Amino acid sequence: MELKKIRKKLEKELDSKRFEHTLGVAYTASALAMCHQADPEKALLAGMLHDCAKCMSNDKKIAICEKHHIPISDIERQNPFLLHAKVGSYLAKKEFHVHDGDILNAIASHTTGRPAMSQLEKIIYIADYMEPGRKQAPGLSVVRKLAFQNLDRALLQILKDTLEYLQDMDIPFDPMTQTTYDYYVTNGLS
Ligand code: DGI
Ligand code: FE
Ligand code: FE
């Protein structure tokens, strides 16, 4: 599917705030790819699609998972918004006809991360956190600078800040968020 068509479809399916965020992530991801010798077009497409399932009702996300045998963990059942990443990856393939496995993984892992992410997965995870429209999280300006210097250091900083935020707000962790953090604390800066 042509990028212009994808963008039009997303504009219809997302609310205006989410659509603006989507464009922010797409162009931030593309700039990070340019900086780190990755493929800017691939990053643009992955960023464009990363939240494609974000504005769908929880019931619909759960129904899609059940129908297509996408496993739902206990924490995802309790916090179905977490499913927008996996469902988004599914829709990117089925409705937007994206078949690049790296792009589909980047969409699926953009909320919790996962151990041993590819460079594109890191770029999408980081771009989602730092796009210009994101409201100021503590340490955001540090992350924005770091992201153009060293993806792994930026990633680790975001993981740290996210876990701290979830802890402070008493929000339950998805085990994958913890697993990702543990992995990058040990292996992140090799
Ligand atoms: O979809 P976006 O808002 O653009 O960004 P996202 O998909 O990264 O989701 C961000 C939210 O996800 C943010 O409020 C923190 C939350 N989050 C990240 N890891 C976890 C989590 N929420 C829960 N309950 N558990 C997690 O492990
Ligand atoms: Fe998201
Ligand atoms: Fe997002």
Torsion sign over Cα 25, 27, 28, 30 = positive
- Ligand 2 centroid–CA 82 distance in Å is 8
Divide the 190 residues of the chain into consecutive groups of 10 and give the mean pLDDT of each group: 96 98 98 98 98 98 98 96 98 98 98 98 98 91 97 97 96 95 86
CA 43 to chain centre: 12
Query: Residues whose CB is under 5 A from ligand 2 (ion)?
Result: 51
The answer, yes or no, to whether any atom of ligand 1 lies below 6 A from the CB of 121, is: no
Give the Cα separation of 6 and 97 in Å (integer).
Answer: 10
- Ligand 3 centroid–CA 14 distance in Å is 12
Task: Spell out the alpha helix ranges (H) of 99-190.
Answer: 101-108, 119-130, 140-147, 151-168, 175-187
Topology at the third CATH level for domain 3-186: Hypothetical protein af1432 (1.10.3210)
pLDDT of residue 35: 98
pTM, rounded to two decimals = 0.97
Q: Which two tokens stand for residue 185?
A: 């604390």
Give the Cα separation of 153 and 124 in Å (integer).
Answer: 15
| HSE of 42, CA atoms in CB hemisphere, 13 A | 19
pLDDT of residue 190: 56
